[in-house]
Each structure stands twice: as C-alpha cells, then as structure tokens.
Amino acid sequence: MGLLDFARNIGTKLFGNEEEAPEKITQHIEDNNPGVSDLKVEVKDGVATLSGQADSAEAREKAILMTGNTEGIESVVDNISAPESTEEVSYYEVQSGDSLWKIAEKTIGNGADYEKIFEANREVIIDPDKIFPGQKLRIPAAA
C-alpha cells in the first residue's frame, strides 16, 4: 500500500455521505492549516482528488494524509503543487497494538523519540493517544 492508498473503512469520521465529503475534508484541512492554499477537494467512489498550492512538500504530504486517514476515502489523487522535499521522510502504517513510542522504537530506533513523530504529524494526529490501525504517518529521518 503506497502513500496514496488508504483503508476505506477506518479513520476519522468527517462526513455521512459522499456528497458532503469535499466540504468536510476541505474544512478539516483548513482548520488544521497544514499550509495549503486554494485547496479544492473532489470525492467520487472513495477517491479524493486534491488540488491547490502547498507552501512546502511537508504541507502537501500532511494534506494527503489528513484526507486519506478519513473514513470513506480509499485513495488520494494528488494534484497539489509544492516545492521539492528537502528532507528524507518515510511513511508508516499503524498496526494493532502500536503506540507512538513503539512506532518510534521500530522506525527511529528509540521510543523516547516518539515526540518527533508526533511533531511531524501534528495536523494528522490531533491527540497522540488516539492513533488507529491502518492510519498512515510521516516518519522523519533519524536525528
């Protein structure tokens, strides 16, 4: 499963039907302000298409993750313009029983670095105690 593919039946419940999905997803992204302007969201058959201008590659990635980690979305088509990434980032799909500490141990090598994962996903994970299996997270390069 790549960055743009997600589990449709899990995630944050933002909308009740697909007709209201674009407005709800747009509001969710704008409320958490990952740095995307002129955002346009379209949703058809569980596929969300995003367009707009991102201030950074990180803002683009967060908008994609915020959209894909929404219940009812199974993939994201990325048409957001953004500068090239200047940092090495990988992605992790949360497994059953994971915590940010465990994810940091697996990916960065030190559980105490869980705050780095939280900071890299601040707009994606509103509460660090509420992650769920199938959710995708940005993992920063080890410092």
Mean pLDDT of 10-32: 95
Is it the case that residue 107 has pLDDT exceeding 70? yes
Mean pLDDT of 88-111: 95
- Above pLDDT 70, what percent of the chain? 97
Is it the case that residue 142 has pLDDT exceeding 70? no
Distance CA 42, CA 26 (A): 9
Fold of 90-139: Membrane-bound Lytic Murein Transglycosylase D; Chain A (3.10.350)
CA nearest neighbour of 35 among 52, 54, 57, 50: 54
Fold of 2-81: GMP Synthetase; Chain A, domain 3 (3.30.300)
Q: Where are the domains of the chain?
A: 2-81, 90-139
Q: pTM of this prediction?
A: 0.91
Question: CB under 8 Å to 94, separation ≥6 — which residues?
Answer: 103, 131, 132, 133, 134, 135, 136, 137
Name the residue type at position 11.
Answer: G
Distance CA 38, CA 59 (A): 13
Which tokens belong to 77?
């088509």
Distance CA 52, CA 95 (A): 31
CA nearest neighbour of 3 among 72, 63, 86, 71: 63
